[in-house]
Chain A
Amino acid sequence: MKHKKLLSLLTSIAMLFSFTACGKSNTSVAEDPIEKYGSDTLKLYNWGEYMGNTLISDFEKQFGVNVIVEYFDSNEMMYTKIQAGDAYDILVPSDYMIERLLANNALQPIDKEMIPNISNLAEGVKALPYDPDNTYSVPYFWGTVGIVYNKNNVDLEDLEQQGYAILKNTKYKGKLYMYDSERDSFMIALKSLGYSMNTDNEQEIEQAYQWLKELNDTMEPVYVTDEVIDGMMNGNKDLAVVYSGDAVTILNENEDMAFYLPKEGTNVWSDAMVIPANAENPKLANEFINYVLTYDASYSNSEAVGYTSSNKEVMDNISGEGGLYESNPAYLPRIGYDKDEVFKDNIVLKEKLSELWIKVKASQ
């Protein structure tokens, strides 16, 4: 989704140093983690650049344990690894992927007794359709997908009148970043055409395919993933499809940029922590989930990454008066808008969209 491989490489090197350093200080912890959890190692599989700098080291210090972190850059990549039998204690997949993991019986229920902080969840991430009672998952970050535009070069009126169709307005030819993922691109096309983004109606999908193809053939778009953050911070383009959390970072760094959520509706997504069925240390995993939901941990996470916290108090404080992202309209997701939707998992459709998407990009 939204992360830089290079930087995650560097952070993982830094992480390596941080846990070798912690190994020595472990002795000062009163309770023996092996006695309490059965093991003192937690294996975490998360998105790259998705945690505050001190989250892991603080957790290690406080609980006297070692955390091994690995990074993925797409849900599918993570899924492939899990399918191959790799064991982790915690994953942080997106909504539709949790649905798929659940359908495969690949997850185990969380232990709510160990996670009292679950009461801190924000309204927007409660009772999500893929796991309404939080039996298996606890939200980590959430947000929307919208358009970041350069206030000096893009007419807000164009945006308000055309919505997503502004991406096909030849006035902005060559000034456009699209997000390189079939899910997000088809969401935009389907929404712009007035359909549900979860449709499996063949005609609607065909129309959306033509919509994207036309965009590709007339607008000279550049398809990017994480590069969009740097690109828009440097003002390389005037319009970009961006995840709300990345938009927060862009708006923070470049004041010419603004964020717009089209009225046709968008994808309200959430990434949540889950414990795989084959986890080796589920007890410690529950402890970690509880830790992430604490005010301090969640605050430093959200502050560092720019994505919206699932902790209500943190979200309110950061976006509220005097908060870090008070004047940043991308931070607080739009909730309760009837045209916004959550992705549902549909593996047949997914395969089809994936093939159509490569055809969109390859047609010229």
Chain B
Amino acid sequence: MRQFKNMAYPYMIWISIMIVVPMFMIFMYAFTKHGNDVATFWFTFDNFIRFFSDIIFINVLKQSLYIAVITTIICILLGYPVAYIIANSKEKNKVFLILLITLPTWINMLVRTYAWMGILQDNGILNNILSLFGLQTKLLHTDFAVILGMVYNFIPFMILQIHTSLTKMDKSLIEAASDLGADKIQCFLKIIFPLSLPGVISGITLVFLPAMSSFFIPKLLGGGQYVLIGNVIESQFLTAGNWNFGSAISLIIAVIIMISMYITKKIEVKNSTGKGGIIH
């Protein structure tokens, strides 16, 4: 093994340039503000105080959390059955079904979201169909549109993660359970679901994170009046030109995400040990 160790160096250099340095810069920006001519920047907590002392920003944060949680829950509820069906289908169908799931991601996310705008708008396709039944409603620029856009864009990540953990599973455990008299439902609840939890957890990570910080989905499908935390960050960087405040908000979100990841990890560990050692 030792001779392979050196091969990790390029990778280490790569992460330090691409991940560590930018993170450090965000950190620096978040805790500083523009200084005068002598000292170019000063350390400060102002950016954080400014965020937490303003009820409007807190509300935006709450709304973003709400949307991200709802999106993640819907992704699990829809994604799990789909992943289950794919995992249990015939080998040659499996490849095709996986292709169908990943196919939309070949097209740029922005373009696909624009397409939804056309479908959902007041005179769009969906409303035209609904109007045949006399059901025309406002779809675009609502919570519904934003959540739909997020679920649509992020659900492939959930399905693929769950699918992987379902196929990796040791099938002999299921056979053993049925031999010992467990019916299908018991089998699913006691064996399959707990074993697929790691996939669900990493799916949650992959969905919750972008749903929390996405700015163009709410902007396009929610309209400019739909402000989530990602939009606040975007405006701080691009319009206001206040990188310090923008970085501070980014850091706050990063902390929130890290905490939620820590909690989900805890749940995972509890589940896999608490059930009396089904894993090995």
- Report A338-351 CB contacts with B as 1/0, cut-off 8 Å: 00000000010011
A contacts with B, residue count (CB < 8 A): 34
Q: How far apart are B145's CB and chain A's nearest CB, in angstroms? A: 12
Instruction: Tell me if A77 and B227 are in contact (CB < 8 A).
Output: no
Interface check A359, CB cutoff 8 A: yes
Instruction: Tell me if A6 and B114 are in contact (CB < 8 A).
Output: yes
Instruction: Tell me if A80 and B237 are in contact (CB < 8 A).
Output: yes
Interface check B224, CB cutoff 8 A: yes
**CB-CB contacts below 8 Å: B211-241 with A:** 223-225, 227, 231-232, 235-241
Interface check B268, CB cutoff 8 A: no
In the bound complex, residues from chain A placing their C-beta under 8 Å from that of B122 are: 234, 236
Interface check B264, CB cutoff 8 A: no
Instruction: Tell me if A6 and B225 are in contact (CB < 8 A).
Output: no
A182–B240 CA distance with the chains assembled, in angstroms: 10
Chain B: CB-nearest residue to A73 = B238
In the bound complex, residues from chain A placing their C-beta under 8 Å from that of B57 are: 362
**Stretch from A128-136, A215-223, A271-279, A294-302 that touches the partner:** A215-223
Give the number of A-B contacts (CB < 8 Å): 72
Q: How far apart are B245's CB and chain A's nearest CB, in angstroms? A: 8
- Report A62-80 CB contacts with B as 1/0, cut-off 8 Å: 0000000000001011011
Interface of A is mostly: helix
B contacts with A, residue count (CB < 8 A): 27
List residues of A whose CB falls within 8 A of some B CB: 5-6, 9, 74, 76-77, 79-80, 178, 180-182, 216, 221-225, 227, 231, 234-236, 347, 350-351, 354-355, 357-359, 361-363
**Subset of 27 A-B contacts with CB under 8 Å:** A74-B238, A77-B238, A80-B237, A80-B238, A180-B224, A181-B239, A182-B239, A222-B224, A223-B224, A223-B225, A224-B224, A235-B123, A236-B121, A347-B241, A350-B241, A351-B240, A354-B235, A354-B236, A354-B239, A355-B240, A358-B227, A358-B232, A359-B54, A362-B59, A362-B60, A362-B227, A363-B56
**Given pairs A222-B141, A223-B225, 15 additional interface contacts (CB within 8 A):** A5-B110, A5-B114, A74-B238, A74-B239, A80-B241, A222-B223, A224-B223, A236-B122, A236-B123, A347-B241, A351-B240, A354-B235, A358-B231, A362-B227, A362-B232
